[in-house]
Amino acid sequence: MALYLLDASERATKFKEQYLNRLKTLRNQPFAHGTLTVRSLLDMREHCLSEFNFHDPYLRQKQMENDQALALLPERLASLAQYDFEKLNDQLAIGLLAGNVFDWGAKEVALLMESGQGLRFEVALGFIKPRPWLEDDLDAWKSRLRDNNRPHKCAAIFIDNSGADVILGVIPFAVELLRYLNIYLDIYQNRVEKLNKKVIWMLYPPYSDPLKWLMLSIKLSI
């Protein structure tokens, strides 16, 4: 029977059978498909999922997280709008770091995500330690923005394909890049949960409303 005629539960059963059979083969013959590594196991899983039309098994979860983050974005942007240049860039940097708290997988973060209230972005901000950080070039970055006449002509940002780290961390930073520097901006994003990325947003000056352009791009790509 063609795969497109099977419902999700039937395809899931067939995926499970094939995946377990391949794991059994590798247990008995670890080098059956070349060198056995964590990367090769992940690739095998992705291949099996794609074979049974599960191209993104986390799509529903991503959509839920995106909707939650988009609902918080106006509040996040409004809070940033009250800051002067120095404080704004401090908060943008902290926001970029805080967005990755959602990906840490730490026990405390997992417990917050599973709680009734979930992990709100302001809670994630509290996970970021005070400066100086282990790698901290923020002062040099602010100095370059402040003292040079349009020091950059183009920026490239590499992001995940969904989530609060993109919407609440990267988007406010990108808005300020467009507004303050008036530069060309390319944003590279995963289409699925793989390491290769492709450019999906290409934004060019001048920008009458950078947030409008970014939000349009989000709706078209996430």
Are the C-beta atoms of 28 and 54 separated by less than 8 Å?
no
Q: For the segment 174-186, what is each residue's pLDDT rounded down to a tens digit?
A: 888 888 877 788 8
Q: What are phi and psi of 166, to 5 degrees?
A: -75, -55
Q: What are phi and psi of 187, to 5 degrees?
A: -120, 125
pLDDT at 154 over 70: yes
Closest to 87 measured CA to CA, from 138, 162, 159 = 138
In this prediction, residues 129-149 reach a mean pLDDT of 87
Beta bridge partners of 186: 156, 202
Cis peptide bond prior to 210, omega within 30° of 0: no
Element of type H or E holding 188: strand 184-189
CA end-to-end span of the chain: 32
More confident residue, 104 or 65: 65
pLDDT at 59 over 90: no
More confident residue, 221 or 11: 11
Q: What is the DSSP string of 139-158?
A: HHHHHHHHHSSS--SEEEEE
Q: Given the DSSP bridges, would you call strands 184-189 and 198-203 parallel, antiparallel or unpaired?
A: antiparallel
Task: Write the single-letter amino acid at 222.
Answer: I
In this prediction, residues 30-41 reach a mean pLDDT of 88
pLDDT level of residue 206 (50, 70, 90 thresholds) = low
List the domain boundaries for the chain. 3-51, 60-91+131-221
